[in-house]
Amino acid sequence: MNCYHPILIAASLLSSAAAVRGAVTPDPAVMQAEDQRAAAIAKASAATVAVFDGAGAGGGSAVLISPDGFAVTNFHVTSPCGAAMKCGLNDGKLYDAVIVGIDPVGDVALIQLLGRDDFPVAEIADSDQVRVGDWCFASGNPFLLADDFTPTITYGLVSGVHRYQYPAGTLLEYTDCLQTDAAINPGNSGGPLFDAQGRLIGINGRGSFEKRGRVNVGVGYAISINQVMRFVPMLKSGRIVDHATLGATVSTEEGSVVVDDILETSDAFRRGLQYGDSIVRFADREITTANALKNVLGVYPSGWRVPLTYRREGESFNSQVRLMGVHDESELIELVQSEEEQPSEPHPGGPKEEPKDNGPKLPVPGLEGLLKKKKLPAAVVGKYEARRGYANYWYNEQAQQRLWTNYVERSAVNDIGYDWKLVGNVETGGAFELITSADRAELTLPTGHSGAIFTGDLADQLSPPRSGGLLLAINAWQRFIDKGLRRFGEVYYLGKLPHGTDNRVEDCLVGYFEGMETRFFFADETGDLTGIELFTADDADPCEISFADFKEFEGRRLPQRWLIRHAEAPFAELVVETWNVNAGKPSAAPQDGAN
């Protein structure tokens, strides 16, 4: 009988196992995948921001989206910070940052890091293409532990898409979210959610926590980056941005989404939507439940235009609908302020080791009195201006001046005056003549002759009929050129939103005079004025003028082709052949003709 010592047996087995391990060659595909994952995380980490309240009251995370320092985060991260915060990157450096704009309903805020113009940025993905089962990773500053500003990475799956989260308190609402089991803990708020390639797909916000505590249980929610990027151009206005509503309430009935009630002042009502109609498609998505409609509505700012399909008695109708705001301006400000007093669902991003601060704090940066909280850093003082209704009016004023200066310099219209005579052709046949002055205008078309007088109640001067006030819109344009930003009336930068028949998204200045709103749209590339919308009343369709085919008239760059629309219907398309300035005035107050 042979005997073997146990120690010798164990040594032999270990030696054999080591030999086997040494002989194993790692699969190249596995190693390549690991290298790619590490590279994606390294790239993404560089754009991840650790956000700290300079007063030490809390913080969270953010992500850089442009080299000049614009970064996206949660509103409930920035609200305790006020106008200024400190932001760290994984290069180990700490930067001053300033609030730019806020979306308190969607829990999004835009900030700008200062001190560089070459910040690393995240690559933006199309979050509508994200599927359940896709790998993803969250990057951020959980529990504010990143003292060296190196972000923590948590890896997981996308476990749900198009998730709707019911409002927390009276204001906050998460719609069309991405759900993930990648750990999202307090401090991850406002930070990025990336896909496996390191592309930005969402902004982490809400999490489900064990017994309402502060430990993640594997269900986190990110605001889709498509929603965020749609709001970013509006947030760059420095405003408090509102979300959109259709102006109707709906319910799910036997597989259909039926209109229960609708505001007669809404654009949807003017486009024909009525009580009892079934909404079939909205913003190019099929709508099968009331929640599905809420989900889609939540990704759009107030004023956006989207396609709508509805059915009535078996017949389908298609339209473009201009969405209205959920709140009016004063209501939104009051709600944002009062939300500070309301209990809310727990949110990541509260102060370290202080569970009592789970909920969002919602004072409004930009309102009077905020500066008393703390002294602003010198770098921030030069980029911050408090004004009621704005997160930071400084950015709004800068945008106004940029658009105005580019337009005047490129078009050379500063001395064009009010006395115009335009002659040309109508696209459908025949000639037109337009003669204007400061106090009156007249238009002759093949269909008749119309005029308007710009004294008294301007809202009554809606000539020509069915145009929505074309002559009044032209006078508003002339007034804007003559008076400029400061004397036209109240003027502010709205942001970027769609207009025209092709719904192109461009910069918009809004001006008010005599109780009427005029929107002026400008092209990014050229600075040309590409459109005007005149609203003579809140519940009325605007007169819409789209400009194209710019050419020189008497040394000025002006539009040759004008497309005029009202209530979704074309009124006329004019092609200008001659455009004379100081060419005489209308002879008398003309009467409206047949057009």
DSSP secondary structure, 207-246, as one string:
EEEGGGSSSEEEEEEEEEHHHHHHHHHHHTTTBBPPBEE-
Q: Just give the CATH number of 398-581.
A: 2.50.20
SS3 326: coil
CA distance 117 to 64: 12
Residues forming the active site: 76, 107, 189
CATH 2.40.10.10 location in the chain = 123-227
DSSP strand pairing (108-113 vs 94-103): antiparallel
CATH 2.30.42.10 location in the chain = 244-325
Q: How many CB atoms lie within 10 A of CB 78?
A: 30
Please name the fold of domain 244-325: Pdz3 Domain (2.30.42)
Amino acid at 399: A
**End-to-end alpha carbon distance in the chain:** 119
Query: Per the structure block, which two tokens stand in for 506?
Result: 């461009």
Check residue 551 and give its pLDDT: 95
Q: What are phi and psi of 377, to 5 degrees?
A: -60, 155
Q: How many CB atoms lie within 10 A of CB 501?
A: 12
DSSP strand pairing (59-64 vs 216-224): unpaired
Check residue 357 and give its pLDDT: 34
Check residue 404 and give its pLDDT: 96
CA distances from 463 to 215, 396, 454, 471, 478 (A): 65, 33, 11, 6, 17
Nearest alpha carbon to residue 381 among 142, 172, 96: 96
CA distance 578 to 441: 17
Q: Which CATH architecture has domain 123-227?
A: Beta Barrel (2.40)
Residue carrying structure tokens 């985060």: 73
Q: How many CB atoms lie within 10 A of CB 592?
A: 16
What are the 10-residue block averages of pLDDT along the chain, 595 residues in total? 46 51 75 88 94 78 97 93 93 95 95 96 97 95 80 94 77 88 90 96 77 63 96 97 94 92 94 96 94 93 95 94 90 70 40 34 38 74 93 97 95 93 97 96 96 84 92 96 93 95 94 93 94 92 96 95 95 97 62 46
Q: Estimate to the nearest angstrom the gap between the alpha carbon of 484 and the chain centroid.
A: 27
Check residue 389 and give its pLDDT: 87
Q: What are phi and psi of 386, to 5 degrees?
A: -80, 135
Q: What are phi and psi of 505, to 5 degrees?
A: -95, 115
Residue carrying structure tokens 């910069």: 507
Q: How many CB atoms lie within 10 A of CB 387?
A: 17
Nearest alpha carbon to residue 128 among 296, 313, 334, 338: 296
pTM for the structure as a whole: 0.87
